[in-house]
Structures are given as structure tokens and as C-alpha cells.
């Protein structure tokens, strides 16, 4: 397993938000954590990258490729985040500074992670844009000049530039329309096949789970109530909460762009 989370709890001064969570993600696997807003799934993903607010306390163990992440200092973790573990967030617009070009964002990211040659940074940035279907001329444009779908594609390109082993994607289609969202996920699936990276996919959308995930865990009130293979849980859920979520979800295939609906029915 590339990632192993063992009995992790996250607490504020007032209460426990995530309680005794354990799960593992295999190399090259697409693992989904599913749950409603407030279930603790995003906090759990942020704990992996030491991105939680300082007022929250984390207990337990998080192993990544043999390293115990919670024991690392923030300075030590800088060698892992970005290079080995990368993030794509729901609020893609806040990932970009409005007065800096897309190219400048790429340049800073690569320079921060040790790519010292400016020419190489530019070449790798333009190649990364092309790999997600974006034209080279977007390199000189500002974030406000791109559509939401283009910005999310650019964020995927940045995250994958250094070929991380684990990509954490947190509700990355929530702010996009249906067509753009599915295009982004199709792109992400394509890039995963090309790079072999594992994906930890945070979502509330069961349509995406059915289409892309290998395994999944269902979270409720900070706890995992059910986990296992995608087909077993979708076709034969055991926990009452999982049954309720699946029953309340949109009909699988409903609302998908033309052409994807038939794939979902297979």
C-alpha cells in the first residue's frame, strides 16, 4: 500500500471531528471517500498533507511509502508535498493569484521544488499544459481569462508536473457545470493511466464513484461506516447510512453529458 491511515482522529478544543479512521490506498488505485458535507472527509485528506489549521490536533499514524508523515516537521514535509503527494482542490480559483499569469504559477511551483533552470521550467510548463489539452498561448494569460474548466485543467497540470505518487482530489468538480466536470474527470483518469499515480478522491457524487473508483470508504460524522470494493458497496450496501445515500443519489447516468450516459449504464 502506498498510503496507510491508522486510527487517525482529528480534534478541536471542543470536540472530536474525525474519530479513529483507518484506511489504505494501493499503488495506482483510485480510492474514493464518500460522504455528505461535514462528514470529515476533507479534513482527513488535509491531515495527510499537514494542511490542517493549527487549532486542530491529529492523533494516530499516516504512513506514506514507509514514512510516518505525522512525525515529520513542516520543513521535512516540504520535500514530500508537491513532489510525492499533490493536491487538487474544489476551489480552483483560489489556487491561482489573479494578477499572475498561468505561466508564472507553473514557474514558481517548479522553482520551489528544485527546478533551477528557467528554460527547463518553461518547457516543462508548456508541455504540462499541452498534456491536459490546453493551448500554449494560455501560458501568458491570467486566471480570469480562462474558463472554470480550463482553470481546473491547469490545476491538474500543475499537480502532475512533478509526477507525484499520490494525487489527492478534493471535490474537484463541485464548482463546475456537469459537462466541464465530467471532462475534467475523464482527463484525470487518462492522466492516471499515463502516470500510474494513486488517487484519493474526495466526493459526494455516487455517479463519479461508480465510474472511476476501485474501492471506497463511506464517512458519516467523522467515522468510516463502511468500506470495500466499489461494486460490493454500490450493489450490496450493508450500513443503513450507505443505503440512504445511494437511494438519495441521482439516478446513475442522469444528468451526464451525451455519450457518457450509455457508458454509465454498462
Task: List, for residues 20-54, the tens digit of each pLDDT value.
Answer: 999 999 999 999 999 988 899 999 999 999 999 88
The confidence score (pLDDT) of residue 260 equals 46
118-131 and 148-160 are packed helices; what angle lies between their axes, rounded to 10 degrees? 130
For 44, 60, 63, 197, 226, the CA distances from 71, given in Å and listed in that order, are 16, 10, 10, 24, 28
pTM, to two decimals: 0.87
Given a cut of 70, whether residue 92 has pLDDT beyond it is no
113/22: higher pLDDT = 22
- Alpha helices, H only, the chain: 41-48, 74-77, 102-112, 118-131, 148-160, 178-195, 206-212, 230-235, 240-248, 260-265
Whole-angstrom Cα distance, residue 265 to residue 13? 47
Better pLDDT: 23 or 248: 23
pLDDT of residue 262 exceeding 70, the answer is: no
Buried b (16+ CB within 10 A) or exposed e, 187-209: bbeebbeeeebbbbbbbbbbbbb
Give the whole-number percent of the chain exceeding pLDDT 70.
93
Q: Is the pLDDT reported for residue 61 higher than 90?
A: yes
- Containing domain of residue 42, as a range? 3-265
pLDDT digits (tens, 9 = 90+) for 158-195: 888 888 999 999 998 887 788 888 888 998 999 899 88
Distance (Å, whole) CA 147 – CA 96: 13
How many domains are there within the chain? 1
Q: What is the DSSP letter of 143?
A: G
Lowest mean pLDDT among 6-15, 162-171, 199-208, 256-265: 256-265
Residues 162, 82 contacting (CB under 8 angstroms): yes
C-alpha pair distances (Å), 127 with each of 8, 85, 133, 228, 253: 38, 21, 10, 37, 34
CATH number assigned to the domain comprising residue 148: 3.40.50.300
User: What's the rounded mean pLDDT across residues 62-73?
Assistant: 91
Amino acid at each position: 500500500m502506498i498510503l496507510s491511515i491508522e486510527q487517525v482522529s482529528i480534534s478541536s478544543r471542543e470536540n472530536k471531528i474525525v474519530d479513529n479512521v483507518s484506511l489504505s490506498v494501493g499503488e495506482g488505485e483510485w480510492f474514493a471517500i464518500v460522504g455528505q458535507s461535514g462528514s470529515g472527509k476533507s479534513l482527513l485528506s488535509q491531515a495527510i498533507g499537514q494542511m490542517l489549521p493549527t487549532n486542530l490536533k491529529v492523533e494516530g499514524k499516516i504512513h506514506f511509502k514507509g514514512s510516518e508523515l505525522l512525525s515529520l516537521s513542516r520543513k521535512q514535509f516540504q520535500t514530500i508535498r508537491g513532489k510525492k503527494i499533490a493536491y487538487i482542490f474544489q476551489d480552483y480559483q483560489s489556487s491561482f493569484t489573479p494578477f499572475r499569469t498561468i505561466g508564472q504559477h507553473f514557474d514558481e511551483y517548479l522553482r520551489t521544488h528544485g527546478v533551477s533552470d528557467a528554460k527547463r521550467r518553461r518547457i516543462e510548463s508548456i508541455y504540462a499544459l499541452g498534456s491536459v489539452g490546453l493551448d500554449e498561448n494560455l501560458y501568458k494569460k491570467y486566471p480570469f481569462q480562462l474558463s472554470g474548466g480550463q482553470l481546473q485543467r491547469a490545476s491538474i497540470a500543475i499537480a502532475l508536473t512533478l509526477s507525484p505518487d499520490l494525487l489527492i482530489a478534493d471535490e474537484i468538480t463541485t464548482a463546475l457545470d456537469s459537462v466541464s466536470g465530467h471532462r475534467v474527470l475523464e482527463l484525470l483518469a487518462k492522466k492516471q493511466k499515463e502516470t500510474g499515480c494513486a488517487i484519493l478522491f474526495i466526493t459526494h457524487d455516487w455517479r463519479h464513484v461508480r465510474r472511476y473508483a476501485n474501492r471506497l470508504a463511506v464517512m458519516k460524522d467523522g467515522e468510516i461506516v463502511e468500506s470495500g470494493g466499489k461494486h460490493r458497496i454500490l450493489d450490496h450496501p450493508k450500513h443503513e447510512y450507505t443505503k440512504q445515500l445511494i437511494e438519495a443519489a441521482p439516478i446513475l447516468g442522469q444528468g451526464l453529458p451525451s455519450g457518457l450516459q450509455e457508458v454509465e449504464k454498462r
